[in-house]
């Protein structure tokens, strides 16, 4: 029989009844503690910065949503009619929140040890294939470090276009490396991400010059 906490964990705020936002808040902290502790144990010589980036890559919305989808959690979600019609059971934010809420539920009902057992089980594949420190650097940092190490000037970024209404804009940014005659364009829902996109494309072009 499903417990009240489990029902709450799988109930989105769009549905009737008590929803999972408080359990999600709790589960987020429990998940963070478990993953942080596991990374600390696994990589004893890792720097604080590397550990922080690793943790962020493991507990972000995308990673959580993929794990939730793998568990088939979307099939159990209790959603309002609007979310059901729009495919809310596949929405990354909803899946990620539900998984955190489920972790909070396990912690409340069975304790930290069982929550840890569950988290490490579902994260086993990711923990066994952790990215390197260089892989986790954002594109702008990787590009800048690479260029500086070879004596080139820093890349130049410029916002070239903003489209859409205020609440749903698309930003287009340019990344230029004059010394290598490279100019790339990136776009995203924020200026920062658009620049990151342009930097990633520029880095690919730079590597072709090697």
User: Is 147 in the same domain as 114?
Assistant: no
Q: Residue 88: its pLDDT value, please?
A: 77
Told to judge if 134 belongs to the known catalytic residues of this protein, a careful annotator would answer no
95 and 38 share a domain? yes
Q: Which residue out of 16, 21, 28, 109 is catalytically annotated? A: 28
Average pLDDT over residues 93-100: 95
**pLDDT, tens digit, 9 for 90 and up, residues 141-172:** 889 988 998 999 999 999 999 998 877 899 99
Question: What DSSP assignment string belongs to the chain?
Answer: ---HHHHHHTB-TTSSS--SHHHHHHHHHHHHHHHHHHHHHH-TT--HHHHHHHHHHHHSHHHHHHHHHHHTGGGG-B--HHHHHTTGGG-HHHHHHHHHHHHHHHHHHH-HHHHHHHHHHHTHHHHTTPPPHHHHS-HHHHHHHHHHHTTPPPPEEEEEEEES-TTS-EEEEEEEEGGGTEEEEEEESSHHHHHHHHHHHHHHHHHHT-
Q: Is the pLDDT of residue 209 over 80?
A: no
Angle at 85 between CA 80 and CA 90, to 5 degrees: 85
Q: Which domain holds residue 35?
A: 4-130
My answer on whether 120 and 163 are in the same domain is: no
Residue 97 annotated as binding site: yes
Burial of 206 (0-12, 13-18, 19+ CB in 10 A): buried
Q: Which residue of the set 83, 100, 116, 174 is catalytic?
A: 100
pLDDT of 16 reads 82
* pLDDT > 70 in the chain, percent: 99
Query: Do 87 and 184 fall into the same domain?
Result: no
Instruction: Please check whether residues 87 and 188 belong to one and the same domain.
Output: no
| Residue 1: pLDDT over 70 | no
Stretch 31-49: mean pLDDT: 96
Q: For 56-61, what is the mean pLDDT?
A: 93
Mark whether 83 and 15 lie in a shared domain: yes
CATH number of the domain that residue 144 is part of = 3.30.160.20
Query: CA-to-CA distance for 96 and 58, rounded, in angstroms?
Result: 12
- Residue 75 assigned ligand-binding role: no
Domain closes at, from 67, 95, 130: 130
Q: What is the pLDDT of residue 136?
A: 82
Each residue's pLDDT tens digit, 103-150:
999 999 999 999 999 999 999 999 999 998 878 888 998 899 889 989
Pair (126, 145) in one structural domain: no
Is residue 177 located within the same domain as residue 107? no
Predicted TM-score of the model (pTM)? 0.72
Higher-pLDDT residue of 143 and 84 is: 143
For residues 117 and 51, membership in a common domain is answered with yes
Last residue of a domain, one of 96, 130, 164: 130
Number of structural domains in the chain: 2
90 and 170 part of one domain: no
CATH of the domain at 22: 1.10.1520.10
Predicted confidence at residue 35, as pLDDT, reads 98
pLDDT, position 41: 97
pLDDT per residue as tens digits for the range 162-200: 998 877 899 999 999 999 999 999 999 999 999 999 999
Same domain, 89 and 9: yes
The question of whether 145 is a catalytic residue gets the answer no
Q: Are residues 119 and 202 in the same domain?
A: no
Whether the pLDDT of residue 38 is over 80: the answer is yes
How confident is the model at residue 102, as a pLDDT? 97
């Amino acid at each position: 029989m499903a417990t009240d906490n489990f029902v709450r964990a799988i109930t989105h705020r769009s549905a009737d009844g008590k929803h999972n936002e408080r359990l999600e808040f709790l589960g987020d902290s429990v998940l963070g503690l478990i993953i942080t502790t596991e990374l600390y144990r696994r990589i004893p010589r890792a720097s604080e910065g590397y550990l922080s980036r690793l943790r962020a890559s493991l507990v972000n919305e995308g990673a959580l949503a993929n794990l939730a989808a793998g568990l088939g959690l979307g099939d159990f979600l209790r959603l309002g009619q609007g979310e059901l019609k729009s495919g809310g059971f596949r929405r990354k934010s909803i899946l990620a929140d539900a998984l955190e809420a489920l972790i909070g539920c396990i912690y409340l009902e069975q304790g930290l040890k069982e929550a840890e057992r569950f988290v490490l089980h579902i994260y086993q594949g990711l923990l066994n294939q952790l990215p390197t420190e260089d892989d986790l650097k954002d594109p702008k940092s990787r590009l800048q470090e690479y260029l500086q190490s070879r004596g080139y000037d820093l890349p130049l970024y410029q916002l070239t276009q903003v489209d859409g209404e205020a609440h749903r804009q698309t930003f287009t940014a340019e990344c230029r490396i004059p010394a290598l005659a490279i100019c790339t364009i990136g776009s995203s829902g924020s200026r920062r991400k658009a620049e990151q996109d342009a930097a990633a494309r520029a880095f690919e072009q730079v590597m072709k010059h090697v």
